């Protein structure tokens, strides 16, 4: 597979969450008449990822009020997340990809170094995570993994494709709301 671009159709794939297995992506898309976003982060123990997940959860009602849904993908073991989280704790679902198959399939790159992953936006998020008291958990997956975000319609046709340039390069809640609004 190659990188996903606007106008491409995201291929169907099977996935698992901390609380379910053998799910199909296209079955999820069919549940939503509007747009669906899929946001690829690093892993559950990452403080930046924890901050993004917490922020999306806090702003969920506002993000989705215009229609649309979103999912977060992590390179984490589903059983580890299930130990730390109740099933309905988040208003959106976490897709677990501990073997990083989707990251490879969609050619989501890694940074060349830790220094290369950090820009001003990332450092601001590091400060916010520290101020929020977030602590780094287990290291899983690829430490240098960069994020990516894709938005598509109910048939998988991509209307937005963004491969992150730094660890903090994911849509803010307001931007995500605009991207998935029907």
DSSP string covering 1-68, please? -----TT-BPPP-EEEETTEEEEEHHHHHHT-SS-EEEEE---TT-HHHHHHHHHHHHTHHHHHTTS-
- How many residues appear in the chain? 182
Is 50 a residue whose pLDDT tops 80? yes
In the predicted structure, residue 126 carries a pLDDT above the cut 70: yes
**Angle, CA of 170, 171 and 172, to the nearest 5°:** 115
Q: Between 86 and 98, whose confidence is greater? A: 98
Residue 152 confidence class, pLDDT cut points 50, 70, 90 = very high
Average pLDDT, stretch 143-163? 97
Domains and CATH numbers, the chain: 14-169 (3.40.30.10)
What pLDDT does 182 receive? 63
State the Cα–Cα distance between residues 169 and 164, nearest whole angstrom. 5
Q: How far apart are CA 44 and CA 34, in angstroms?
A: 28
Computed over every residue of the chain, the mean pLDDT equals 93
């Amino acid at each position: 597979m190659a990188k996903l671009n606007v106008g491409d159709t995201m291929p169907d794939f099977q996935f698992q969450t901390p609380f379910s297995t053998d799910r199909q992506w296209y079955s999820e898309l069919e549940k939503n008449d509007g747009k669906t976003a899929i946001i690829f982060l690093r892993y559950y123990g990452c403080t930046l990822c924890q901050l993004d997940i917490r922020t999306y959860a806090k702003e969920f009602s506002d993000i989705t009020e215009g229609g649309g849904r979103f999912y977060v993908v992590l390179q984490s073991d589903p059983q580890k997340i299930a130990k730390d989280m109740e099933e309905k704790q988040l208003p959106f679902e976490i897709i677990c990809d501990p073997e990083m198959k989707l990251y490879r399939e969609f050619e989501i790159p890694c940074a060349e170094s830790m220094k290369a992953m950090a820009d001003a936006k990332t450092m601001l998020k590091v400060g916010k995570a520290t101020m929020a008291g977030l602590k780094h958990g287990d290291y899983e997956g690829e430490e240098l993994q960069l994020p990516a975000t894709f938005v598509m319609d109910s048939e998988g046709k991509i209307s937005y494709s963004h491969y992150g340039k730094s660890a903090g390069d994911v849509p803010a809640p307001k931007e995500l709301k605009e991207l998935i609004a029907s």
